[in-house]
Amino acid sequence: MAKVKGDVVIDIERCKGCEICNTACPNQVLSMSTQVNSKGYRFAIKVNADCIGCANCAIVCPDGVITVYKTKV
């Protein structure tokens, strides 16, 4: 069975920093940035490469700013 590797892309300008994605991620791939976007919100960032492509973060994001890509390795 092929292993699945994921990658997360976040639209930082649309992220409002609600942190729901951080809670939903089983591998703690996401965290909040210390910087702010142009609207003054701290935004979510990818902090490690342990993404499994489950897309929990994208599903719970109320603003739909997260895209998850999956590849077989």
pLDDT at 34: 96
Question: Whole-angstrom Cα distance, residue 2 to residue 16?
Answer: 35
- Global pTM exceeds 0.75: yes
pLDDT band at 1 (very low <50, low <70, confident <90, very high): low
* pLDDT, tens digit, 9 for 90 and up, residues 14-67: 999 999 999 999 999 999 999 999 999 999 999 999 999 999 999 999 999 999
What top-level class would CATH report for the domain 4-72?
A: alpha beta
